Amino acid sequence: MTHLKNCQIPEQLRPFVKAIYLMQAPGTWEPPPHSRVLPDGCVELFVNIGDTADSFEVNGRKINGSSFITSRMNCFMDISSPKQVHFITVWFYPGRSWPFFDVPMSIVANQTVCLSDIGKSQAEAAKEMEQRVEATLSDEEKVQVVQEFLIEKLSRNYRAEESFQSTLTLIEKSLAQVSVDSIARAVGLSHRQLLRKYDQCLGLGPKEYIKMRRFLSASELLKVAKWSLTDVAYETGYFDQAHFIHDAKQFSGMTPGELRQAKNVLF
């Protein structure tokens, strides 16, 4: 099975990074055919510190780069893991990954992209980071190299986006039961300004983000509460069960009943 070791997050990265893991599987286990990862608005960075001959498959496509990101906006991903895995993974909060990459996040939304393919400056920085990772011996030193890479990107690219971050907070506090117009008014932005900020910083429009977060809240209830599907739908702000079923099929490829029973779904 895959083992995850939680690594300490440097203070500079804590507002942006939810978790840093060392992920390792020894090659003696039989991974499942695939795991379905539901969209959550997060971007995750993977840095391969093992055998680059073994690669993940995402939606049937082999990912061969030494470092890559997955952007889980509003589409599920089917991921197949090799038997032998040795990665550093960095899991960003929703809307907090944009300072670390050199393109609007809409460019990479719902994709798995090698760092070397995200513009010239990103490719050069990624190559230098990968070379430093390869040159170090211990896993802990390799994690430190990745952390230093991220801190350097943050120092170059960060600018305060308080109004955008405030909208994400409003959506979370309301359990995604809020309108786009109301959050725009709350932070003093026009509808067009709000769309531009979401395009740049998140990669998904505010209406679709609210819709996805509402579905995610419902999915979590499906797994932990023994409620009827109708009760789950109403508790999470759906007008009726039909709308819940529609969103479940869009975001997970399953009906709510199938999602409740599924063993290979991660979110």
- pLDDT tens readout for residues 204-224: 999 999 999 999 999 999 988
Kindly give the interhelix angle for 206-224 and 241-252, rounded to the nearest 10 degrees.
Answer: 100
What end-to-end distance do the CA atoms of the chain give, in Å? 18
pTM: 0.93
Domains belonging to the chain, first-starting first, are: 3-157 (2.60.120.10), 162-266 (1.10.10.60)
- pLDDT tens readout for residues 112-168: 999 989 988 888 999 999 999 999 999 999 999 999 999 999 999 898 899 999 999
Cβ atoms 105, 43 nearer than 8 A? yes
Q: Which residues contact 125 (CB under 8 A, 6 or more apart)?
A: 149, 152, 153
